[in-house]
């Protein structure tokens, strides 16, 4: 029987495999505190941690310093940005929006986008993988 494994990565702690059939409880305030104590954060780098990774979805906790910019291209997957702390400016060719603490932004179509942290920002980045494409690669 092939069992899917989720992986929890924490700065300096390696990987903690978790059986997909079990529940995984995570303390976001504690994870955020640890991220902000890491060497990467102190150096001024973007810091991220994989909370869930499997064939259906990826969920990452991301901490950005004020002024950090991310330029990306969305694939066929649906992407959701949930702001835990701070504020992001979101830009595409056709639109722009500010999203702040407690707000969620979801992209469902292929699009080039740019995000800029207006202040120190922490977000959950969730990627729901396209099932048709995932089925072809497995």
Instruction: Give per-residue pLDDT as tens, 11-54.
Output: 444 455 555 555 677 889 999 999 999 998 999 988 999 999 99
For residue 110, give the 3-state DSSP assignment.
coil
With a cut of 90, say whether residue 67 has pLDDT above it: yes
Cα–Cα dist 130/107, whole Å: 13
For residue 135, give the 3-state DSSP assignment.
helix
Across residues 61-84, what is the average pLDDT? 90
- pTM for the model: 0.75
Across residues 99-126, what is the average pLDDT? 92
**Token digits for 113?**
């986008």
Domain count, the chain: 1
Domain that holds residue 104: 5-137
Please check whether residue 115 is in contact with residue 83, taking contact to mean a CB–CB distance below 8 angstroms: no
pLDDT for residue 66: 96
Give the DSSP letter string of 6-37.
EEEEETTTEEEEEETTS-----HHHHHHHHHH
Q: Report the chain's terminal Cα–Cα distance, integer Å.
A: 16
The CATH number of whichever domain residue 49 belongs to comes to 2.60.120.10
Share of the chain above pLDDT 70, in %: 76
Candidate from 1-10, 13-22, 68-77 with smallest mean pLDDT? 1-10
Of 74 and 105, the structure prediction assigns the larger pLDDT to 105
């Amino acid at each position: 029987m092939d069992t899917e494994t989720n992986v929890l990565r924490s700065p300096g702690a390696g990987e903690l495999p978790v059986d997909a059939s079990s529940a995984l409880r995570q303390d976001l305030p504690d994870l955020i505190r640890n991220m902000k104590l890491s060497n990467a954060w102190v150096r001024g780098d973007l810091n991220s941690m994989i909370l869930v990774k499997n064939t259906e979805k990826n969920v990452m906790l991301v901490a950005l310093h004020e002024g950090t910019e991310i330029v990306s291209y969305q694939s066929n997957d649906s992407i959701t940005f949930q702001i835990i702390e701070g504020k992001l400016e979101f830009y595409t060719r056709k639109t722009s929006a500010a999203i702040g603490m407690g707000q969620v932004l979801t992209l469902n179509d292929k699009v080039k986008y740019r995000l800029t942290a207006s202040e120190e920002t922490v977000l959950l980045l969730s990627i729901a993988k396209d099932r048709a494409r995932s089925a072809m690669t497995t």
